[in-house]
Protein backbone atom coordinates (compact mmCIF):
# COMPACT_ATOMS: atom_id res chain seq x y z
CA UNK A 1 0.00 0.00 0.00
CA UNK A 2 1.48 3.41 -0.96
CA UNK A 3 2.66 5.60 1.90
CA UNK A 4 0.11 8.28 0.96
CA UNK A 5 -2.65 6.20 2.55
CA UNK A 6 -3.50 7.25 6.11
CA UNK A 7 -5.05 5.34 8.97
CA UNK A 8 -7.83 7.81 9.69
CA UNK A 9 -10.53 9.61 7.73
CA UNK A 10 -9.41 13.22 7.31
CA UNK A 11 -12.96 14.38 6.53
CA UNK A 12 -15.75 14.33 9.17
CA UNK A 13 -18.53 11.87 8.36
CA UNK A 14 -22.04 13.29 8.49
CA UNK A 15 -24.71 11.49 10.53
CA UNK A 16 -22.45 8.75 11.85
CA UNK A 17 -25.42 7.09 13.58
CA UNK A 18 -28.96 6.58 12.30
CA UNK A 19 -31.85 4.25 13.12
CA UNK A 20 -33.33 4.64 9.65
CA UNK A 21 -33.29 1.40 7.69
CA UNK A 22 -32.18 1.85 4.10
CA UNK A 23 -33.09 -0.57 1.29
CA UNK A 24 -30.28 -2.35 -0.55
CA UNK A 25 -29.86 -1.87 -4.31
CA UNK A 26 -28.49 -5.05 -5.87
CA UNK A 27 -25.54 -3.24 -7.40
CA UNK A 28 -24.25 -2.45 -3.89
CA UNK A 29 -23.75 -6.17 -3.25
CA UNK A 30 -22.44 -6.79 -6.79
CA UNK A 31 -25.38 -8.98 -7.82
CA UNK A 32 -27.66 -8.77 -10.85
CA UNK A 33 -30.32 -11.28 -9.74
CA UNK A 34 -32.59 -10.66 -6.78
CA UNK A 35 -32.51 -14.31 -5.71
CA UNK A 36 -28.73 -14.09 -5.25
CA UNK A 37 -28.72 -10.79 -3.30
CA UNK A 38 -29.20 -11.67 0.37
CA UNK A 39 -29.01 -8.32 2.29
CA UNK A 40 -32.35 -6.50 2.37
CA UNK A 41 -31.75 -3.34 4.44
CA UNK A 42 -29.07 -1.68 6.54
CA UNK A 43 -28.71 0.70 9.48
CA UNK A 44 -25.62 2.56 10.61
CA UNK A 45 -25.34 1.87 14.36
CA UNK A 46 -22.19 3.94 14.92
CA UNK A 47 -19.39 5.39 12.86
CA UNK A 48 -17.88 2.02 11.91
CA UNK A 49 -20.63 -0.44 12.87
CA UNK A 50 -23.55 -1.44 10.67
CA UNK A 51 -26.53 -3.73 11.07
CA UNK A 52 -27.56 -5.48 7.87
CA UNK A 53 -30.89 -7.33 7.70
CA UNK A 54 -30.55 -10.30 5.34
CA UNK A 55 -32.39 -13.47 4.38
CA UNK A 56 -31.18 -17.02 3.89
CA UNK A 57 -33.26 -18.69 1.16
CA UNK A 58 -34.54 -22.15 1.99
CA UNK A 59 -34.67 -23.29 -1.63
CA UNK A 60 -31.71 -21.68 -3.38
CA UNK A 61 -30.66 -23.78 -6.40
CA UNK A 62 -26.92 -23.47 -5.68
CA UNK A 63 -26.66 -22.79 -1.92
CA UNK A 64 -28.84 -25.79 -1.13
CA UNK A 65 -29.30 -27.16 2.42
CA UNK A 66 -26.50 -29.39 3.69
CA UNK A 67 -26.73 -32.59 5.69
CA UNK A 68 -30.47 -32.62 5.18
CA UNK A 69 -31.78 -29.62 7.05
CA UNK A 70 -29.09 -26.97 7.64
CA UNK A 71 -28.31 -23.82 5.72
CA UNK A 72 -25.08 -24.05 3.75
CA UNK A 73 -22.12 -22.47 5.61
CA UNK A 74 -20.91 -21.06 2.28
CA UNK A 75 -24.25 -19.23 2.03
CA UNK A 76 -23.33 -17.59 5.33
CA UNK A 77 -19.88 -16.70 4.00
CA UNK A 78 -21.39 -15.19 0.84
CA UNK A 79 -23.92 -13.20 2.89
CA UNK A 80 -21.08 -11.85 5.04
CA UNK A 81 -19.16 -10.85 1.92
CA UNK A 82 -22.17 -9.05 0.45
CA UNK A 83 -22.83 -7.25 3.75
CA UNK A 84 -19.24 -5.97 3.77
CA UNK A 85 -19.49 -4.64 0.22
CA UNK A 86 -22.75 -2.93 1.17
CA UNK A 87 -21.15 -1.29 4.23
CA UNK A 88 -18.23 0.10 2.23
CA UNK A 89 -20.37 1.31 -0.66
CA UNK A 90 -23.28 2.75 1.32
CA UNK A 91 -21.50 3.64 4.54
CA UNK A 92 -18.18 5.01 3.33
CA UNK A 93 -18.89 6.05 -0.23
CA UNK A 94 -16.70 3.58 -2.10
CA UNK A 95 -17.97 4.21 -5.66
CA UNK A 96 -19.91 1.59 -7.56
CA UNK A 97 -17.63 0.07 -10.17
CA UNK A 98 -14.65 -0.14 -7.82
CA UNK A 99 -13.08 -3.58 -7.42
CA UNK A 100 -12.98 -5.34 -4.05
CA UNK A 101 -9.81 -7.38 -3.58
CA UNK A 102 -10.32 -9.73 -0.64
CA UNK A 103 -7.12 -11.05 0.91
CA UNK A 104 -8.68 -13.47 3.40
CA UNK A 105 -12.04 -14.72 4.62
CA UNK A 106 -12.56 -16.64 7.87
CA UNK A 107 -15.86 -17.87 9.31
CA UNK A 108 -17.28 -20.15 12.00
CA UNK A 109 -20.91 -21.31 11.94
CA UNK A 110 -23.10 -22.63 14.75
CA UNK A 111 -25.18 -25.18 12.86
CA UNK A 112 -27.73 -25.74 15.65
CA UNK A 113 -29.13 -22.29 14.79
CA UNK A 114 -29.12 -22.83 11.03
CA UNK A 115 -32.02 -25.22 10.60
CA UNK A 116 -33.86 -24.78 7.32
CA UNK A 117 -37.59 -24.12 7.50
CA UNK A 118 -40.23 -23.82 4.82
CA UNK A 119 -39.54 -20.11 4.25
CA UNK A 120 -36.45 -17.86 4.04
CA UNK A 121 -34.72 -17.26 7.39
CA UNK A 122 -34.26 -13.67 8.53
CA UNK A 123 -30.86 -12.88 10.03
CA UNK A 124 -29.00 -9.83 11.27
CA UNK A 125 -25.40 -9.33 10.16
CA UNK A 126 -23.38 -6.92 12.28
CA UNK A 127 -20.52 -5.47 10.24
CA UNK A 128 -17.68 -3.75 12.10
CA UNK A 129 -15.01 -2.03 10.02
CA UNK A 130 -11.56 -1.23 11.38
CA UNK A 131 -7.95 -0.56 10.38
CA UNK A 132 -9.23 1.69 7.62
CA UNK A 133 -6.74 3.39 5.36
CA UNK A 134 -7.92 6.43 3.45
CA UNK A 135 -6.85 8.31 0.37
CA UNK A 136 -8.64 11.23 -1.25
CA UNK A 137 -11.49 11.13 1.26
CA UNK A 138 -12.45 7.48 0.78
CA UNK A 139 -11.17 4.16 2.13
CA UNK A 140 -8.75 2.08 0.11
CA UNK A 141 -8.29 -0.76 2.59
CA UNK A 142 -10.02 -2.17 5.66
CA UNK A 143 -10.60 -5.03 8.06
CA UNK A 144 -14.12 -6.42 8.54
CA UNK A 145 -15.55 -8.43 11.43
CA UNK A 146 -18.97 -10.04 11.19
CA UNK A 147 -21.40 -11.33 13.80
CA UNK A 148 -24.51 -13.07 12.49
CA UNK A 149 -27.61 -13.63 14.62
CA UNK A 150 -30.97 -15.25 14.01
CA UNK A 151 -33.77 -14.31 16.40
CA UNK A 152 -31.09 -13.12 18.82
CA UNK A 153 -29.11 -16.38 18.73
CA UNK A 154 -25.53 -16.47 17.51
CA UNK A 155 -25.34 -18.04 14.05
CA UNK A 156 -21.83 -17.25 12.87
CA UNK A 157 -18.78 -15.03 13.25
CA UNK A 158 -16.21 -14.08 10.67
CA UNK A 159 -13.38 -11.77 9.70
CA UNK A 160 -11.82 -10.59 6.47
CA UNK A 161 -9.53 -8.00 4.94
CA UNK A 162 -10.10 -6.21 1.66
CA UNK A 163 -8.78 -3.47 -0.59
CA UNK A 164 -10.62 -1.30 -3.08
CA UNK A 165 -9.28 -0.11 -6.42
CA UNK A 166 -10.68 2.13 -9.12
CA UNK A 167 -11.34 0.67 -12.58
CA UNK A 168 -8.31 2.55 -13.89
CA UNK A 169 -5.93 1.19 -11.24
CA UNK A 170 -7.41 -2.28 -11.63
CA UNK A 171 -6.80 -2.27 -15.38
CA UNK A 172 -3.19 -1.25 -14.86
CA UNK A 173 -2.75 -3.94 -12.23
CA UNK A 174 -4.27 -6.70 -14.36
CA UNK A 175 -2.59 -5.71 -17.61
CA UNK A 176 -3.40 -8.15 -20.39
CA UNK A 177 -5.83 -10.03 -18.11
CA UNK A 178 -8.07 -7.01 -17.42
CA UNK A 179 -10.76 -7.93 -19.94
CA UNK A 180 -13.81 -10.17 -19.35
CA UNK A 181 -13.41 -13.69 -20.61
CA UNK A 182 -15.37 -16.87 -21.03
CA UNK A 183 -14.67 -20.43 -20.01
CA UNK A 184 -16.66 -23.52 -20.95
CA UNK A 185 -15.19 -26.69 -19.44
CA UNK A 186 -14.46 -29.69 -21.61
CA UNK A 187 -13.47 -32.02 -18.76
CA UNK A 188 -15.95 -34.38 -17.11
CA UNK A 189 -17.13 -33.37 -13.63
CA UNK A 190 -16.69 -35.71 -10.70
CA UNK A 191 -19.85 -37.28 -9.31
CA UNK A 192 -22.07 -34.61 -7.73
CA UNK A 193 -22.80 -36.87 -4.75
CA UNK A 194 -19.08 -37.43 -4.06
CA UNK A 195 -18.45 -33.69 -4.35
CA UNK A 196 -21.09 -32.87 -1.75
CA UNK A 197 -23.70 -31.65 -4.25
CA UNK A 198 -26.65 -33.63 -2.98
CA UNK A 199 -29.12 -32.39 -5.58
CA UNK A 200 -27.13 -34.07 -8.32
CA UNK A 201 -26.74 -30.99 -10.51
CA UNK A 202 -23.65 -31.60 -12.62
CA UNK A 203 -23.46 -27.91 -13.53
CA UNK A 204 -22.63 -27.14 -9.88
CA UNK A 205 -19.57 -29.42 -9.82
CA UNK A 206 -16.36 -27.42 -10.25
CA UNK A 207 -13.80 -30.26 -10.18
CA UNK A 208 -12.64 -32.94 -12.62
CA UNK A 209 -10.46 -35.98 -11.97
CA UNK A 210 -6.72 -35.82 -12.60
CA UNK A 211 -3.98 -38.44 -12.84
CA UNK A 212 -2.75 -37.57 -9.33
CA UNK A 213 -4.28 -38.83 -6.11
CA UNK A 214 -6.25 -36.18 -4.20
CA UNK A 215 -5.65 -33.61 -6.94
CA UNK A 216 -8.41 -32.31 -9.20
CA UNK A 217 -8.61 -29.86 -12.07
CA UNK A 218 -10.76 -26.78 -11.56
CA UNK A 219 -13.79 -26.61 -13.88
CA UNK A 220 -14.83 -23.05 -14.66
CA UNK A 221 -18.10 -22.47 -16.49
CA UNK A 222 -18.88 -18.79 -17.01
CA UNK A 223 -22.46 -19.76 -17.94
CA UNK A 224 -23.24 -20.63 -14.31
CA UNK A 225 -26.02 -18.29 -13.25
CA UNK A 226 -24.98 -17.93 -9.60
CA UNK A 227 -21.19 -18.03 -9.74
CA UNK A 228 -21.03 -15.60 -12.68
CA UNK A 229 -23.50 -12.75 -12.24
CA UNK A 230 -21.76 -10.48 -14.72
CA UNK A 231 -18.70 -10.54 -17.00
CA UNK A 232 -15.48 -11.26 -15.13
CA UNK A 233 -11.80 -11.35 -15.98
CA UNK A 234 -10.84 -14.04 -13.45
CA UNK A 235 -12.21 -16.94 -11.45
CA UNK A 236 -14.36 -15.51 -8.61
CA UNK A 237 -13.35 -16.19 -5.01
CA UNK A 238 -16.69 -17.85 -4.25
CA UNK A 239 -16.00 -20.44 -6.96
CA UNK A 240 -12.63 -21.16 -5.34
CA UNK A 241 -14.33 -21.60 -1.95
CA UNK A 242 -16.76 -24.04 -3.55
CA UNK A 243 -13.85 -25.89 -5.13
CA UNK A 244 -12.23 -26.17 -1.69
CA UNK A 245 -15.45 -27.54 -0.20
CA UNK A 246 -15.86 -30.09 -3.00
CA UNK A 247 -12.24 -31.21 -2.69
CA UNK A 248 -12.71 -31.60 1.07
CA UNK A 249 -15.80 -33.74 0.46
CA UNK A 250 -13.86 -35.92 -1.98
CA UNK A 251 -10.86 -36.49 0.26
CA UNK A 252 -12.85 -36.95 3.49
CA UNK A 253 -15.73 -39.01 2.04
CA UNK A 254 -17.77 -41.06 1.80
CA UNK A 255 -19.27 -39.63 5.02
CA UNK A 256 -20.65 -36.07 4.71
CA UNK A 257 -18.32 -33.11 5.04
CA UNK A 258 -20.06 -29.91 6.20
CA UNK A 259 -17.56 -27.01 6.41
CA UNK A 260 -18.79 -25.38 9.61
CA UNK A 261 -15.55 -23.38 9.87
CA UNK A 262 -13.18 -22.14 7.23
CA UNK A 263 -10.15 -19.96 6.79
CA UNK A 264 -8.97 -18.90 3.33
CA UNK A 265 -6.02 -16.83 2.12
CA UNK A 266 -6.15 -15.57 -1.45
CA UNK A 267 -2.69 -15.04 -2.94
CA UNK A 268 -3.37 -14.28 -6.61
CA UNK A 269 -6.07 -14.47 -9.24
CA UNK A 270 -6.93 -17.72 -11.01
CA UNK A 271 -7.10 -17.05 -14.74
CA UNK A 272 -9.51 -18.52 -17.28
CA UNK A 273 -8.60 -21.27 -19.73
CA UNK A 274 -5.41 -22.30 -17.95
CA UNK A 275 -5.33 -25.39 -15.71
CA UNK A 276 -5.74 -24.71 -12.00
CA UNK A 277 -5.04 -27.69 -9.77
CA UNK A 278 -6.87 -28.25 -6.48
CA UNK A 279 -5.24 -30.51 -3.89
CA UNK A 280 -6.78 -31.61 -0.59
CA UNK A 281 -5.39 -33.40 2.45
CA UNK A 282 -7.01 -34.56 5.68
CA UNK A 283 -5.13 -33.17 8.69
CA UNK A 284 -5.30 -33.89 12.42
CA UNK A 285 -7.94 -31.49 13.71
CA UNK A 286 -6.81 -31.31 17.31
CA UNK A 287 -10.49 -31.16 18.28
CA UNK A 288 -12.29 -34.40 19.15
CA UNK A 289 -15.20 -35.14 16.86
CA UNK A 290 -14.02 -32.83 14.08
CA UNK A 291 -12.40 -33.46 10.68
CA UNK A 292 -10.02 -30.89 9.20
CA UNK A 293 -8.88 -30.62 5.60
CA UNK A 294 -6.33 -28.35 3.97
CA UNK A 295 -6.95 -27.38 0.35
CA UNK A 296 -4.68 -25.48 -2.02
CA UNK A 297 -5.06 -24.19 -5.53
CA UNK A 298 -2.08 -23.79 -7.89
CA UNK A 299 -1.85 -22.38 -11.39
CA UNK A 300 1.34 -22.31 -13.44
CA UNK A 301 3.15 -23.56 -10.34
CA UNK A 302 2.03 -20.57 -8.24
CA UNK A 303 -0.15 -20.72 -5.13
CA UNK A 304 -3.57 -19.19 -5.82
CA UNK A 305 -5.27 -19.85 -2.47
CA UNK A 306 -4.95 -21.85 0.72
CA UNK A 307 -7.99 -23.01 2.70
CA UNK A 308 -8.51 -24.89 5.94
CA UNK A 309 -12.01 -26.36 6.40
CA UNK A 310 -13.41 -28.12 9.45
CA UNK A 311 -16.45 -30.39 9.65
CA UNK A 312 -18.10 -32.47 12.35
CA UNK A 313 -16.76 -36.01 12.03
CA UNK A 314 -19.95 -37.73 10.89
CA UNK A 315 -19.87 -41.51 11.20
CA UNK A 316 -22.56 -42.35 8.68
Three-class secondary structure assignment of 207-253: EEECCCCCEEEECCCCCCCCCCCCCECCCCHHHHHHHHHHHHHHHHC
Residue 316 banded pLDDT, cuts 50, 70, 90: low
- Contact yes or no for 138/94 (Cβ under 8 A): yes
Percent of residues, the chain, with pLDDT higher than 70: 94
- Per-chain mean pLDDT for the chain: 92
Give the CA distances from residue 313 to residues 50, 196, 214, 292, 307, in Å, rounded to whole numbers and listed in that order: 35, 15, 19, 9, 18
CA 196, 57, 226, 303 dihedral sign is negative
- Contact yes or no for 246/195 (Cβ under 8 A): yes
Q: Is the pLDDT of residue 22 over 70?
A: yes
pLDDT tens digit sequence for 239-248: 999 999 999 9
CA atoms within 13 A on the CB side of 231: 7
Backbone angle region of 97, left / alpha / beta, with phi > 0 → left and psi within -120 to 50 → alpha: left
Q: How deeply is 276 buried, as exposed, middle or buried, from its count of CB atoms within 10 A (0-12, 13-18, 19+)?
A: buried
Q: Which domains does the chain have, with CATH numbers?
A: 22-172 (3.10.129.10), 179-312 (3.10.129.10)
Alpha carbon distance 251, 254 (integer Å): 8
Alpha carbon distance 233, 174 (integer Å): 9
Residue 18 banded pLDDT, cuts 50, 70, 90: low
Which value, to the nearest 10 degrees, does the dihedral of the CA atoms of residues 58, 59, 63, 66 take?
70
Give the pLDDT score at 286.
81
Rg from Cα positions in the chain: 19
Alpha carbon distance 306, 298 (integer Å): 9
**Cis preceding-peptide flag for 78 (omega within 30 of 0):** no
Average pLDDT over every residue of 89-94: 96
Q: Is the pLDDT of residue 218 over 90?
A: yes
Average pLDDT over every residue of 38-67: 96
pLDDT tens digit sequence for 253-266: 898 999 999 999 99
pLDDT tens digit sequence for 74-83: 999 999 999 9
Alpha carbon distance 208, 188 (integer Å): 6
Q: Helix or strand or coil: residue 268?
A: coil
pLDDT tens digit sequence for 219-231: 999 999 999 998 9
Amino acid sequence: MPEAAVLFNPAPMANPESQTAHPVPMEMVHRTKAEDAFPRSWIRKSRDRFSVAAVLPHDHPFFAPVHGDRHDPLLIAETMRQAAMLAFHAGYGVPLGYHFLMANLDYTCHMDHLRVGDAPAEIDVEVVCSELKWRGGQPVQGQVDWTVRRAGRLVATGAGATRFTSPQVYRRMRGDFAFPGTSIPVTTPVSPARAGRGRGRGEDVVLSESLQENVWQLRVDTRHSTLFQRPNDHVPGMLLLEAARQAACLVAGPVPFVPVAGGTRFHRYAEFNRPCWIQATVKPSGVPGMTTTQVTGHQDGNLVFFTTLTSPAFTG
